[in-house]
Amino acid sequence: MSQILTLIAPAGGLSAPLLARIRSALQELGATAGTPDWLAPEEAADLPFDEFSPEQATAAARAALGDALVDAIAQPAEGRRKRLLLADMDSTIVTSETLDEIAAYAGLKEKIAEITRRSMNGELDFRAALIERVGMLAGLPVSALERTWEATAMTAGAAELVATMRANGAHCVLVSGGFTFFTGRVAERLGFHAHYSNTLLLEDGKLTGRVGEPILDRDAKLATLKRLAAELGLPLSATLTVGDGANDLAMIQAAGLGVAFRAKPVVAAAARARVEHADLRALLFAQGYRAAEIATSY
C-alpha cells in the first residue's frame, strides 16, 4: 500500500486492541487498511493504508484514539527514511529553554520565561524578543552559562535519534535560536555533524547584553534547511525537521517530514505531524526503524 500510518506511544502504551480499533476506524470511513506491523512491542506499529490522504488518516486516527496517549503520523510509504535531520535545541533536543535558565542567575527567570513563552507561540517577533531578553542579562558573569550547561538535560530519545540516523548515512544538524555556547556542547555530546545558532557577546567575562549579528531566526532556519539540502543534493522530501516553537514552523512545514515535538499550540495546530506523548525515538519509528535497529550512541 502507498501510505503508512505510524502509531507511537510511551513504552507499553500501545495495545493490539487499540491498534485494531484504529484499523477499523479507517475501514469504516472507506480506507483500505492492511495488517499492522509492530516496530516495537506495545510501543510503535505501522498500519499501511490506501484511499485516504495522510491528513485524512491522521484525523481519523486521532478521533478514534480519544484520550489515549498515542501519537499518530501518516505519510507516503516511499522515501520514509530521511537523509538530512535539522533539529531545534531548546525544549526539543534538550528539555529546557537555556536562556530562561541563564536568567535564573539574574533573578529574572519568571519575567524572561514569559517573554520566551509568548515568542515561541508566535505572539511576539522572535528577533525583538531575543534582543530584549538578552539585554536584560547585561553584566551577568559567564559562570552563569557554565552552571546552566551543567544542569542541562538531553531529551529522552535524542541520543538514539542522532546515532541511528548517522549510522544510516543521514547528515544531522542542530539549528537553534539559542546560543553557540550550548549548541556546540550539545552537538559534541550527541554527534551532530554541525550546529548553527546565535552568539552571546562577552566582554571581561560578562555578558554585554547584546547578540551577535546576523540573528538566526525563523527565516534563517528555513534558509539553512534549503541550503543544506541543496549542498547534499537532496530534495526537501528527503529531509526531517523537528522543533517546538513558532520560529521552527517554517522549516517544519517545508520538510518532507516536519514534526512539532511537544510544541506550542500555534505550532502543533499548523504542523502536519506532531509528537505529544512519545519521546524523540518517535521520529525513528515514523521513518520505519525497528527497535532492534536503534543505536544508542554514535
What sign results for the dihedral spanned by CA atoms 154, 261, 174, 120? negative
Q: How far apart are CA 43 and CA 284, in angstroms?
A: 12
Write the DSSP string, 231-294. HTT--GGGEEEEESSGGGHHHHHHSSEEEEES--HHHHHH-SEEESSS-TTHHHHHTT--GGG-
Write the DSSP string, 182-200. HHHHHHHHHT-SEEEEE-E
Residues 1 and 48 sit within 8 Å (Cβ to Cβ): yes
Q: How far apart are CA 295 and CA 281, in angstroms?
A: 10
Residue numbers annotated as active site: 88, 90
